[in-house]
Amino acid sequence: MPGVDDAGQTGYLGPCPPAGDIAHRYQITVHALDVTSLDLPAATPPAVTGFTMSGHVIGFARMTVTARR
pLDDT in tens, the chain (69 residues): 677 777 778 877 777 888 899 999 999 999 999 999 999 998 888 899 999 999 999 999 999 999 988
pTM for this predicted structure: 0.69
Q: C-alpha distances in angstroms, 66 versus 12, 13, 28, 56, 63?
A: 17, 16, 11, 29, 10
At 12 the three-state DSSP class reads: coil
Domain ranges of the chain: 24-67
CA–CA distance, 9 with 43 (Å, rounded to integer) = 9
Q: Which pLDDT belongs to residue 37?
A: 94
